A and B are shown apart, each in its own frame.
Chain A
Amino acid sequence: MTRVRLTIISVVVLCLVALCMSVGGRKVSAQNAAAAAEPIYNPYPPGILPSDLPSELARVLREVDGIEAEAIRQWHAIPPPVVSGNPPILQNTGVPLVEILGKLMNYDRTISPNKNKACASCHMPYAGFSGPIPSVNLTMIAYPASAPFRAGKRTAQRYTYSSYFPPLQYNATQGAFFGGNFWDSRATGYLTRAPDAEQAQFPPVDPNEMANPDTACITYKLSLAPYRSLFEEIWGAGSLSSITWPANVASICATPGGAAVFGTNTQPVVLSTADRTLSDNDYLHWAASISAFEHSLSVSPFTSKFDAFLKGTYKLTAEESAGYELFKGKGNCNSCHLDGRSTAPAPTAPTAVDTGVAADVTPVFTCFGSANLGLPKNPRDSFYYETTPDSLGFTPNPGGFTYTDLGLGTFLRSGFGSAANPNSAWRPFASTSDGQMQTATARDVAMVPPQCPTTEAPGPYFQKEFFHNGYIKSLKQLVHFYNTRDVYPFAVESGNCPAGTVEKVNCWPEPEVPANEDMTVGKLGLTDAEENQIVAFLQTLTDGFTTPFPDIGTYTGTCMSGGTAATQGNSTIISAIKLRELMNQR
């Protein structure tokens, strides 16, 4: 086939795509959104939404449905338990049953108002249970809601090891906050003592995510689910089936939250007091079941090369070993991403080698704290453009570009886009917490589908996004940012680096939040080769080395290739100034 013919075919394909979808206008259609009653919400300037968004959302839904079908088979293969004692214990198979219930819930798209969004839609196993769509990771960074195409403001955090985070607490001995779930720690675990369980209660009723208008809608949909008998087997007979639902419950629960028709009513499903209490308890049990799944070996299995290394069954390569020494030494990564080692006398110089012995054989590579790393604002974040009401009368972000993500600080103030702070004693720490985001576990940061075996260009690679706003697109960039943030600072926004510089290589735009910036990082003095060695070490933290990671092979999309990791994604950068102009022209 000649190059000319290839070009013609490419043009035809592009035209067909353009016919189906006019990004930048208001005529975007979506396969997955076909069930949605409301018109597509598209307040975005050209280039914010990826051109393959409809087909990619449909692809993920097919994968989600496949895993849900698998989960049903797995559930039926588990022998029934023997109910024993009081309180009743599901003897023998209680643990696998509650774990599989969480899995069934996680991959159930019918929980969302338009039946087009499961929890897993933003958290697929082959991405370490983070964002599964390369083009979204490259562009809008937040994932579209059940009401297309509303979107949130941050990247989808990995589930892996989320259950190991303790309840949010201000630790007076350390003088800092620890624990919780979410980038801003707003899932505190104050009630259940399980932050990852409480985390599972937020997205189903977030209008920019799954968008149920009432928590009772989740209970209602569970009462219709094929696994409702499993729910009642675990959480009590009648817990779902004894609730009397109002005649309009299906209609209410098919309407995305935030719709003007609901006003400020957060409980539009009218229930008796007793049934509301039942529903609230069911929603706690939804949370507990998903927590059990996240804690299971299906999600958090400690099966990485590094775990094998700790057990003495894997020898790190020279590159990985050098990276580990840098991770602990010159890179200072383990000041926050604790590796559980090093009880012995510390090195005496920056170049010295740590001779410590293992203090803990299964570290989770986080201190559970929060920090403001000084990341630049990412103008590609779709949230900045959601300033007009959708067809339901909901405006996700009235402030537009004036919105600043203060992370933990906003939560402590019970501020916009976060949740209510359950402890007024934490409130005085808000200003000293502005800009701080949770220190993620470094485990599984590099997890990708087997057919796209790396996160790094030239690949073939799977495009991920890193940190809370997805500004960073490769692990090379991630390490380079820590290494050189203060070596190449420019008082500009993304897309406006001076001529002669290359953004993310020798130009870092100014931090979104200057306050409380962490200065442990910013100038580490690592060479280019040393950065690569740390990337090699991070790749040893990917689960699935000693035992295959469950459902890792479910990706049916394509890999990307070409370019370099240092500039990966730079072709999609749009000047923040230009984007503001485009928004003002709407």
Chain B
Amino acid sequence: MNSVHAKLLMMAAAGSLLFSNSILAQDSAYTPQILPPAPRAARVRVMQGPELEMADDKSAIITWTSNNPGGTDEHFGVVHYGTNPIELGDTAKSHIRLNQTHSYTVFRVRVRGLSPRTTYYYTVDSMEANGRSDGVNSPVKHFSTR
């Protein structure tokens, strides 16, 4: 084996080693960040709904779409409900994660612990993770369990 041949073999071995084992320094400029909240919307309005998505004998899902309220990404859809339309004393809330790239947000709230074959009245709102309301105004609507 001449010296050139030997050098080629050594280079091939070194290349193979680098190729296969990636004993290389991590060189990504990426620094992960926790996304800060988007600015809060000046006003949050219901664009579609609210309406009943489904109901069985003891639970229901209420859904609506609003403009993206901004604020904390961890958000809650809130349903105030009761069997008397002028006394909506119960509250259900469900986790919704805002998508900062969307101008709209679909809220869905699961309401549990309902009675069968009963009509419930409700309004909706949404709030930030810290409980701060988005100040949504919605009409009183109703649904019935099965």
Contact = CB atoms under 8 A, between A and B. Distances in A.
Which 3 interchain pairs have the tightest Cβ spacing? A175-B129, A342-B101, A335-B99
A519 B130 contact: no
A342 B98 CA distance: 14
Interface in B93-117: 94-104, 106-110, 112
B36 interface: yes
Looking at chain A's contact residues, is the secondary structure mostly helix, strand, loop, or mixed? Answer: loop
Contacts of B74: 174-176, 369
Given A95-B25, A371-B95, A550-B21, A171 B30 contact: no
17 contacts: A166-B34, A171-B34, A175-B128, A175-B130, A298-B22, A298-B23, A332-B106, A335-B102, A367-B34, A369-B74, A371-B97, A486-B53, A486-B54, A517-B95, A518-B96, A523-B53, A550-B21
B96 A519 contact: yes
A99 B24 CA distance: 9
Interface in B39-72: 53-54, 61, 63, 68, 72
Interface residues of A, number: 66
A306 to B, nearest CB: 14
A519 B95 contact: yes
Contacts of A301: 22
Interface in B66-94: 68, 72-74, 77, 94
A341 interface: yes
Nearest to B128: A175
A289 to B, nearest CB: 14
Contact of B101 (A164, A297, A347, A518): A347
Nearest to A95: B25
B17 A77 contact: yes
Contacts of A514: 112
Contacts of A154: none
A362 interface: yes
A293 to B, nearest CB: 10
Of A174, A356, A550, which is in contact with the most chain B CB atoms at under 10 Å from its CB? Answer: A174
Contacts of B103: 345-348
B139 interface: no
Given A174-B36, A295-B26, A486-B53, A520 B104 contact: no
Interface in A66-81: 70-71, 74, 77-78
Nearest to A362: B30
A516 B17 contact: no
Nearest to A176: B74
Interface string B7-21: 000000010010111
